[in-house]
């Protein structure tokens, strides 16, 4: 994206408050130049859209219709929303300039002709291009916060959001900003979910690092839950950092969140300064990269791919992190489906794999003491990577 295309925080705020504007029909006969199967798959699409425009009436009607179409055309939903219903709700509600978690009472409100057109045009582009919704509307939510998103960064979707909401309970003490995410049946009040973090209840962190920050969503969410902490948001990619700075500005957190261009820890002073390091680095292995669905091909490859087993950056993080943590500090790292590869690489290390109330896996927590105890094992893999890169 060129300099003139970089959005400001003010422009993002205006965009996020207005409905998506897409001009004209998106599918044409030219889109059906492939085989007969593809032509048959989309042959009735325009007639289905026209039928919906004429016969559907309420917000509820259009959400149901969008769910059906997303399923009929095998749209992959896994980037920012978790299922077809959530995706359909976002398409409809965003088109109507409504909050994505709109009150149930408005679902039976009727749409005007122009509102119907707006919803159907966004749905049409989502299905025909297979482009993720967040890239179409330049908006995603993380920890209930809105973020400007474009194709320079991954779409926020990490289960780490649950940990942030609970202020990493019970590792750290919590205050009134903590939002318990576990609710037991029959109980009126929410309970803290037992993710598996060690019971420490240390004083809340004063310095936090979000490593491989991308859009800055994790760093900003951390800053809103730990309001007295300084948060460093580091990334090697200049384009990603431009997006992160838009989001820092939009949330008015320039006094608290420091955006840093750095290849992992390379530009950060190693003086044991952080009580908490959170990282969601690239971790997709070569086999999965070779078989990604179309939606994921819009995301920056370098933000996903991490070598043959998906652990190229994780080995370096494990080796270097202790130099940047306080003696009672904690590293929380997401490796996704590379969880198995990590356990195979370090069979003698008992990683603390965390559990999540709303789904998710492949995230572990490891303390400063554990990082130091196993540092030789981490060093061995870093040396192997350096040797392979030198060849």
List, as one string, the DSSP characters of 158-220: -THHHHHHTTTTTTB---TT----B--TT-SS-B-------S--BPPPSEEEEES-TTSHHHH
Q: Which residues pair with 145 in a beta bridge?
A: 142
Mean pLDDT of 232-242: 96
Of 32-41, 227-236, 267-276, the least confident: 32-41
pLDDT category, 286, cuts 50, 70, 90? confident
Backbone angles phi, psi at 50, to 5 degrees: -65, -40
Cis peptide before 282 (omega within 30 of 0): no
CA distance 154 to 302: 10
Q: Please say if the pLDDT value at position 119 is more than 80.
A: yes
pLDDT of residue 11: 58
What are the strands of the beta sheet with 352-353, ordered from one edge? Answer: 257-261, 230-235, 207-211, 274-279, 325-334, 363-367, 352-353
Mean pLDDT of 180-195: 75
Residue 337, token pair as written in the block: 């489906």
pLDDT category, 188, cuts 50, 70, 90? low
Q: Please say if the pLDDT value at position 35 is more than 60.
A: no
24: region left, alpha or beta (phi > 0 left; psi from -120 to 50 alpha): left
Backbone angles phi, psi at 232, to 5 degrees: -95, 135
Residue 291's Cβ-count burial label (10 Å; 0-12, 13-18, 19+) is exposed
pLDDT of residue 189: 65
Q: Are 343 and 322 in contact (CB under 8 A)?
A: no
In sequence order, the 6+-apart residues with CB closer than 8 A to the CB of 380 are none
pLDDT of residue 166: 96
Q: Please say if the pLDDT value at position 235 is more than 90.
A: yes
pLDDT of residue 5: 43
pLDDT of residue 342: 95
Q: Please say if the pLDDT value at position 245 is more than 70.
A: yes
CA distance 237 to 259: 11
CA distance 351 to 76: 31
DSSP string, 327-387: EEEEEEEE-GGGHHHHHHH-TT---EE---TT----EEEEEHHHHHHTHHHHHHHHHHHHH
pLDDT in tens, 374-391: 999 999 999 988 888 777
Of 8-12, 15-19, 347-351, the least confident: 15-19
CA distance 31 to 39: 8
pLDDT of residue 25: 41
Mean pLDDT of 89-113: 87
Three-state secondary structure call for residue 316: helix
* Half-sphere CA count of 362, side-chain side, radius 13 A: 21
Q: With CA atoms as reference, report the closest residue to 214 among 294, 160, 285.
A: 160
In sequence order, the 6+-apart residues with CB closer than 8 A to the CB of 23 are none
Mean pLDDT of 333-343: 93
Mean pLDDT of 13-26: 43
Q: Are 217 and 142 in contact (CB under 8 A)?
A: yes
């Amino acid at each position: 994206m060129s300099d003139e295309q970089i959005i400001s925080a003010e422009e993002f705020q205006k965009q996020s408050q207005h409905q998506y504007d897409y001009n004209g029909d998106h599918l044409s006969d030219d889109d059906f130049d492939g085989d007969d199967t593809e032509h048959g798959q989309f042959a009735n699409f325009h007639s289905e859209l026209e039928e919906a425009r004429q016969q559907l009436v309420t917000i509820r009607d259009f959400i149901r219709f969008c769910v059906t179409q997303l399923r009929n055309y095998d749209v992959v939903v896994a980037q920012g929303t978790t299922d077809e219903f959530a995706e359909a709700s976002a398409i409809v509600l965003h088109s109507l300039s409504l909050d994505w978690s709109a009150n149930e009472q408005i679902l039976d409100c009727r749409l005007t002709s122009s509102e119907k057109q707006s919803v159907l045009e966004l749905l049409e582009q989502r299905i025909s291009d297979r482009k993720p919704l967040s890239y179409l509307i330049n908006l995603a939510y993380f920890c209930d916060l809105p973020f400007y998103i474009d194709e320079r960064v991954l779409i926020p979707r990490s289960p780490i959001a649950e940990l942030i909401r609970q202020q990493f309970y019970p590792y750290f003490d919590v205050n009134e900003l903590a939002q318990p995410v576990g609710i037991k049946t029959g109980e009126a009040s929410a309970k803290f979910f037992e993710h598996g973090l060690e019971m420490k209840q240390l004083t809340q962190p004063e310095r936090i690092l979000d490593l491989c920050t991308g859009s800055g969503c994790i760093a900003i969410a951390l800053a809103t839950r730990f309001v007295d902490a300084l948060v460093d948001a580091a990334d090697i990619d200049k384009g990603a950092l431009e997006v992160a700075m838009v989001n820092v500005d939009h949330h008015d957190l320039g006094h608290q969140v420091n955006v840093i261009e750095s290849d992992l820890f390379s530009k950060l002073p190693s003086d044991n300064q952080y009580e908490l390091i959170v990282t969601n680095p690239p971790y997709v292995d070569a086999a999965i990269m070779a078989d990604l669905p179309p939606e994921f091909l819009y995301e920056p490859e370098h933000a996903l791919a991490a070598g043959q087993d998906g652990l190229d950056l994780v080995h370096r993080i494990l080796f270097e992190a202790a130099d940047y943590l306080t003696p009672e500090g904690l590293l929380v790292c997401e490796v996704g489906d590379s969880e198995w590869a990590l356990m195979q690489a370090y069979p003698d290390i008992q990683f603390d794999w965390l559990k999540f109330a709303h789904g998710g896996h492949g995230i572990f927590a490891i303390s400063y003491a554990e990082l130091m105890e196993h540092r030789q094992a981490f060093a061995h893999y870093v040396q192997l990577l350096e040797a392979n890169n030198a060849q």
